Amino acid sequence: MSRILTGVQSTGRPHMGNILGAIIPAIELANNPANDSFLFIADLHSLTQIKNPKQLKENTLQVAATWLACGLDPEKTTFYRQSDVPQCTELSWYLNCFFPYQRLKLAHSFKDKSDRLEDVNSGLFAYPMLMASDILLYDADFVPVGKDQLQHLEMTRDVASRINHKYGEVFIIPEAKLQKDAQLIPGTDGEKMSKSRENTIDLFEDEKLIKKTINKNVITDNSPLEAPKDPNNSTVYHLYNLIASSEKSSNMAENLKAGGYGWGHAKKELIEELVKSFASQREKFNHYINHPQEVEDVLQKGALKAKKVANATLNRVRESLGYNS
């Protein structure tokens, strides 16, 4: 059985791009009986950007509620909050002591964030080693990553290999499960959906707010109602195609090509599909938000499971380094 690990930062309420691009694929992997999945909320990573404790706690609740609402079964997976397993911070220190400073300087994520953030802290710089700790602590075989995270996984493999070379087989060397076929989730402006671009769609809002977001923010060209339109160059169509059935998507594409079908018609269909397709998840999300103790109980139960694996790994590392008698 392969162990697969993935996580998401608690930097805010997940949007449509997070849900379709990361959370649902991770849940599908977790539901595969051939996989032993560890899924966690990376709230320690979030501290590099969020210093408000109330906001951090609220964000964590919203992220956990999203995973549960989208179908995560905590009985089949190890679902936990990163900060509830402090063993990861101890391991990250050991890893930092074996990884070259010059290699950390080359991290793409640090370069990108240090250019645009006011709070450029040491945590941002050491981020790859905490991420490596998250992976190595649980003996993960595979880590689902996008191309933008591949460098971090290579750093994880590098530091694990350095320690293994010096002390023997201390760590399992994880492999990337590169999501080559992962679709780009476009935002309302047609670019990749991202909070930083302010182009997100919140699937858990009520129908009125979803309608406002789509009608006001999703870009279209100035083609008149009667003109044929190219669905391949339409953000409305791309969003619809992500959630609608193949039959519905084909019908919209044909309508756009034929003319006599305006962007208002297409947006109306998109709104209806967004409201209908995620009705169950929206209801469950609101339930968990209104019953936070249920979420807390799930996370604490997951943390107990995670700690058993973490303690075994950490004891192995301590003994290798000479810290256990």
Side chain identity at 296, as an amino acid letter?
E
- From the candidates 76, 192, 248, 305, give the one annotated as an active-site residue: 192
CA within 13 Å, CB half, 164: 13
Is 166 among the catalytic positions? no
Is 192 among the catalytic positions? yes
Q: What is the DSSP string of 73-93?
A: -TTTSEEEEGGG-THHHHHHH
Is 57 among the catalytic positions? no
- From the candidates 76, 177, 195, 284, give the one annotated as an active-site residue: 195
User: Tokens standing for 124?
Assistant: 């941002």
Between strands 78-81 and 2-9, the pairing is unpaired
Residues 6 or more apart in contact with residue 313 via CB below 8 angstroms? 87, 91, 136, 137, 138, 139, 171
Q: Which of 183, 194, 215, 211 is nearest to 276 (CA)?
A: 211
Say how many C-beta atoms besides its own lie within 10 A of residue 101's C-beta: 8
Cα separation, 249 vs 105, in Å, equals 45
Catalytic residue set? 113, 192, 195
